[in-house]
Amino acid sequence: MINLQPRKTTVFISGSSRLKKLNNEMKKCLDTIMQRDVHVIVGDCFGIDHLAQKYLKQHGFSDVTVYCSTEKPRKCEYPSVKSMWAESQGKTGEDFYQVKDKAMCNECDEAIAFWNGYSYGVKCNIDRVRAMNKPMTVIIEEQPMPEGYGAEYAK
In CATH, what number is assigned to the domain containing residue 138? 3.40.50.450
Per residue in 97-121, pLDDT (tens digit) is 899 999 999 999 999 999 999 999 9
Whether 115 maps to a domain, the answer reads yes
In a domain, 136, yes or no: yes
DSSP state of 7: P
Q: For the chain, how long is the longest CA-to-CA vector?
A: 58
**pTM for the predicted model, two decimal places:** 0.90
Domain that holds residue 38: 9-153
In a domain, 138, yes or no: yes
Please indicate, yes or no, if residue 1 is contained in any of the structural domains: no
Q: 110 and 12 in contact (C-beta within 8 Å)?
A: yes
Number of domains, the chain: 1
State the DSSP code for 2: -
Residue 2 lies in a domain: no
Is residue 4 domain-resident? no
Tens of pLDDT, residues 13-49? 999 999 999 999 999 999 999 999 899 999 999 999 9
